[in-house]
Amino acid sequence: MRIAVFDSKRYDRIALNDANHAGHELEFFDDRLNKSTVPLAAGFDVVCPFVNDRVDEATLTELKRLGVGHVALRSAGYNGVDIAAAARLGIVVTRVPAYSPEAVAEHVFALLLTLVRKTHRAFNRVRDANFSLDGLVGFNLHGRTFGVVGAGKIGRAALDIANGFGMKLLAYDRTPDPALEQAVGCRFVPLPELLAQADIVSLHAPLFPETRHMISAESLATMKRGAVIINTSRGGLIDSSALLDALKSGQVGGVGLDVYEYEEGVFFEDLSGSAVQDDVLARLTTFPNVVITSHQGFLTDEALAAIAETVMQNVADFAAGKPLVNAVLP
């Protein structure tokens, strides 16, 4: 099959080529897939977009006209695809539901430890030969309360790590899991209770209309003063303007973001030669208690290999007419 891989980077090309055991024809495009770039898909059977591509109804309609029958996402999230429109048009959509939960969960703690031990500030000081410790006082994770919002595979991996630090564990999920409570010693509680009690809140929920801005001005006001928020899931879970206000007032003590609600066109790009046009993002980068990374939680050798293997297996199953275990349905 001919596969057009959109929004591709060097690491995507290496991983997908290594996983291409069936010898499918892969062509890589730097462009994101959207209604402007969809003509690039002419002559392909499958398109392979990434998390910030915009596969809306107009794009899908043109893909159908071009003969594309499969949108093989190389991400777990699929909020960029109009799933209902794809179903109406007879285009199959598959995703990568799990690749390396540990990769993202470990990045949670990379962000968290950077924030609470202020290693980013210490690193910059030492490079300037400033060995002062003033202003670098942090706090122990041991004994603190760690709450996960969304106890799927990544949330569970984060709870495992937090358990190793000796933290008290809270979890919120639409379907509480008694077995998980027994396994790691967490306690499932309603979201308001978690936000009120947790010293660290780690977001692992999918982005749906009902979860957009679940961290809002109202919910931020109910949190323990000085709590830390980590988001490695979807940027739209947080109202960024409300977050700015909570940082300024001290209601939120620190924030670690690997995602941002308006990251499209910014994250994954080198904008070092130009000014950041997003005023909220620009202001967030000025806070000493905010650490932002560019959606790199998935970026490990193990995760990239697992993503590529799943994508290529999804394509192989589609080509062979087999049941698609990773299909996304309306």
In order along the chain (330 residues), what is the average pLDDT of each group of 10 residues? 97 97 96 97 98 95 98 93 97 93 97 97 96 97 98 96 98 95 96 98 94 98 98 97 97 98 88 88 96 96 96 97 96
Identical fold between 2-99+301-320 and 101-292: yes
CATH of domain 101-292: 3.40.50.720
Domain borders along the chain are 2-99+301-320, 101-292
At what angle are helices 153-164 and 101-117 packed, to 10 degrees? 50
Is position 263 annotated as part of the catalytic site? yes
Alpha carbon distance 271, 235 (integer Å): 19
Q: Which of 234, 283, 302, 309 is the catalytic position?
A: 234
Q: Which of 102, 263, 269, 283 is the catalytic position?
A: 263
Is position 142 annotated as part of the catalytic site? no
SS (H, E, C) 269-291: CCCCCCCCCCHHHHHHCCCCCEE
Is position 234 annotated as part of the catalytic site? yes
- pTM for this prediction: 0.90
CATH of domain 2-99+301-320: 3.40.50.720
Backbone angles phi, psi at 227, to 5 degrees: -65, 155
Q: Which of 70, 74, 204, 295 is the catalytic position?
A: 295
Q: How far is CA 248 from the centre of its chain?
A: 25
Can you give the pLDDT at residue 56?
97
